[in-house]
Structure 1
């Protein structure tokens, strides 16, 4: 079984093969950013007692760290990830990860058609149609199984809100997704009930974003997928420059960067 090998939330300096372009940002996600959400993954798995009896499907699983952590608990895991570069990284970790769920529901990479737990940890904030995504999750959940949605907490509880605002300001021609669009009370619950699911609890988790230095912080934030439209409209150099400026208040005397962020998740049950 592949090992997650997570030793904390502070990223080490990334290797030189990160850098610009979709493939570089995917590598930066795997090497720098994804570990920042480990507290969220672990809180959900503890609450739902994920283990050998769990069949878990991660929708928008990116490079697969959440799946690795579940596999280490004994769960049977699989994922769907639409971005080619991220999917290849997950597959390189010996994870069963297929592509777009609408085209590959029967793909060999995802052998089961229904699962006892379906998670949407990251993709919700990067999709143009959240209701459709949640309907997909519901369809792939066994009766009596669970769906988990996660998103950012209120912007006033997230240090990264001002940093994420760079994406909005630099994507004026092609605005896409507001990472805080589903942070309001009841927003996630409404999506779940709209898909025929029954909300069964929620939680809040502190996820500090900690980086070895400013360069790592810029690359980590760019890897989230929330800056793609800004990069298209304004170019990577300008977006990176404004990210550096937005991150400066969070630089510590030792040159590391730390932002405190709150994430929220909601658990729902598929009625029997």
Structure 2
């Protein structure tokens, strides 16, 4: 089984924000940014006692670290990821990851199955997680309906999103994405951070609230260069890069990060993420 050990990037790289491209940003996600959400993944898995009896599907699993952590607990895991660059990295970690399928359908071109010990495919899962995808969703309700459709009766769905902006030091840094693109989604990354917002998505998908929690996820980087690359890799700046160019977006990101630079040159921001658990 592939290891979920997370280590800092040790190779010095020149600042090449403008030429990183989709593959470079995907690798930056896997090498830099993905580990920032480990406290969220682990808090959910501990609460739900994820283990050998769990068949877990990660919607929007990106490069798959959350799946690896669940697999190390004994769970059967599979993922769905739209971006081919991230999917390639997840598959390189030995994970089964499929392209995104149409909403509401548990089967079709994007169907992905965890396999049992007898090699039989599973078309639905005891746990479906949506850890990172909601801030990008144009229609979050359709994403949640898709998650519910892929969950076994009696199974659970977990939705997660950023906490209140006043509890997230990265809020000022994320503002660069809105400022640099008139096409930025109106809801932004904090569109589901208000009390009851995540819960409001459940009823329409036939899901019942079964608990919630908040998790502190420090974003810590070795230096400004790593911080800029990590934030760009989140996907929240894609439209800003398209509209204003990656060099300009990276420059403004670096300026917005200066208040969080420590005496040793490292960068640290404290953020809160919120999750809800729902029963199907």
Give the TM-score band, short-chain normalised: over 0.9
User: Could you list the per-position Cα deviations for residues 222-248 of structure 1 after superposition, in whole angstroms to 9, with x for gaps in the alignment?
Assistant: 000000000001000000000000000
Query: d(CA) in 1 for partners of 2:28 and 2:257?
Result: 17
Match of 1:74, SS? coil
Q: Say whether 1:104 aligns with 2:113.
A: no
Query: d(CA) in 2 for partners of 1:118 and 1:14?
Result: 35
User: Could you list the per-position Cα deviations for residues 33-79 of structure 1 after superposition, in whole angstroms to 9, with x for gaps in the alignment?
Assistant: 00000000000000000000000000000000000000000000000
| Counterpart contact for 1:175–1:229, Cα < 8 Å | yes
Q: Say whether 1:208 aligns with 2:205.
A: no
Query: d(CA) in 2 for partners of 1:109 and 1:43?
Result: 23
| Counterpart contact for 1:116–1:146, Cα < 8 Å | yes
Query: d(CA) in 2 for partners of 1:28 and 1:105?
Result: 25
Of the structure 1 ranges 228-237 and 15-24, higher mean CA displacement relative to structure 2 is found in: 15-24
Query: d(CA) in 2 for partners of 1:119 and 1:251?
Result: 33
Q: Cα distance, 1:101 vs. partner?
A: 2.0
| Counterpart contact for 1:13–1:216, Cα < 8 Å | no
Q: Cα distance, 1:13 vs. partner?
A: 4.6
Q: Cα distance, 1:104 vs. partner?
A: 2.6
Match of 1:117, SS? strand
Q: Cα distance, 1:14 vs. partner?
A: 5.4
| Counterpart contact for 1:45–1:70, Cα < 8 Å | yes
Matches within 5 A, 1:31-70: 31-70=31-70
| Counterpart residue number, 2:252 | 242
With normalisation by structure 1, the TM-score equals 0.94
User: Could you list the per-position Cα deviations for residues 103-139 of structure 1 after superposition, in whole angstroms to 9, with x for gaps in the alignment?
Assistant: 5344578842100000000001111110000000000
Query: d(CA) in 2 for partners of 1:192 and 1:22?
Result: 33
Runs of 4+ in 1 over 3 A off after TM superposition: 11-19, 105-111
With normalisation by structure 2, the TM-score equals 0.91
Gaps of 5+ in 2: 103-107, 116-120
Query: d(CA) in 1 for partners of 2:163 and 2:56?
Result: 24
| Counterpart contact for 2:61–2:132, Cα < 8 Å | yes
Gaps of 5+ in 1: none
Q: Cα distance, 1:100 vs. partner?
A: 1.2
Query: d(CA) in 2 for partners of 1:127 and 1:229?
Result: 14
| Counterpart residue number, 2:28 | 28
